């Protein structure tokens, strides 16, 4: 099962809260717990990439009894990202700071030309049908607003939650960390070392690709997932 996070795709887009908690990763994690409950599962494995991975590790922190194994792809924890931010990060991931600006500045800028904002230089990586579905979503003003709220939450409540858990709560389940060796993360961090502060049972490696592991290196990514999940 691969659900859209709240606000993305055809998932619901609840009204924003003043503290952005509506789009916090804690709220998104609760969504996934409820979805799995409705499907009859109280314990399961979670695999996430990018924003999905941020929801995934928060789910493992908040609901440890529910998560058997966790896979996070091409991220470090949100709190670590902001704590370690420097000029290289700000220039490379400038969209983190743009999307987190107060309503409705980024919404208006993106809404003027959403086709030109997303997937610059990476459109060739996606199957045409997948890309068309992404385009359909980002032309919805509600989706644009929800995405901005996601980043506003990251810069506020998500950061605060990570900071409050730092050194106190660790991810209880086995964790696999994968990242793109040609992406930005290995230039900025010792990725595995960062995650070892957040989980005792953690392993991982870089894949010979950029940020989009599943699209750029599907066979290699699948191999590592299968190996981890079958242990």
153 falls within a domain: yes
Give the per-residue pLDDT at 109: 97
pTM above 0.75, yes or no: yes
Q: Is residue 4 part of a domain?
A: no
Please list the active-site residues.
Answer: 50, 211
Q: Closest Cα to residue 114, out of 148, 91, 88, 81?
A: 148
Q: Helix 128-138 to helix 141-153 angle, to the nearest 10 degrees?
A: 90
Q: Give a yes or no: residue 211 inside a domain.
A: yes
Q: Which residues of the chain have pLDDT under 70?
A: none
**Which residues are registered as beta bridge partners of 178?**
73, 205
Total domains, the chain: 1
Predicted local confidence at residue 120, as pLDDT: 80
- Residue 66 placed within a domain: yes
pLDDT at 148 (0 to 100): 98
30: domain CATH number is 3.40.50.1820
């Amino acid at each position: 099962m691969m659900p859209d996070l709240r606000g993305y795709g055809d998932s619901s887009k609840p009204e924003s809260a003043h503290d952005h908690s509506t789009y916090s990763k804690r709220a998104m994690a609760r969504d996934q717990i409820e979805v799995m409950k409705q499907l009859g599962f109280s314990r399961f494995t979670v695999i996430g990439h990018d924003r999905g991975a941020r929801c995934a590790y928060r789910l493992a922190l908040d609901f440890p009894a529910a998560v058997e194994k966790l896979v996070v792809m091409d991220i470090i924890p949100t709190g670590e990202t902001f704590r370690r931010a420097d000029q290289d990060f700000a220039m490379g991931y400038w969209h983190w700071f743009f999307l987190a600006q107060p309503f409705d500045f980024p919404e208006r800028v993106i809404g003027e030309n959403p086709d030109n904002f997303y997937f610059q230089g990476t459109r060739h990586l996606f199957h045409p049908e997948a890309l068309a579905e992404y385009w359909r979503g980002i032309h919805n003003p509600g989706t644009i607003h929800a995405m901005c709220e996601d980043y506003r939450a990251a810069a506020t409540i998500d950061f605060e939650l990570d900071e409050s858990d730092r050194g106190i709560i660790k991810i209880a389940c086995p964790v696999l960390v994968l990242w793109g060796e040609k992406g930005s993360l290995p230039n900025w961090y010792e990725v595995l070392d960062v995650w070892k502060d957040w989980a005792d049972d953690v392993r991982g490696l870089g894949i010979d690709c950029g940020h989009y592991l599943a699209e750029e290196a599907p066979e290699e990514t699948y191999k590592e997932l299968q190996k981890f999940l079958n242990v």
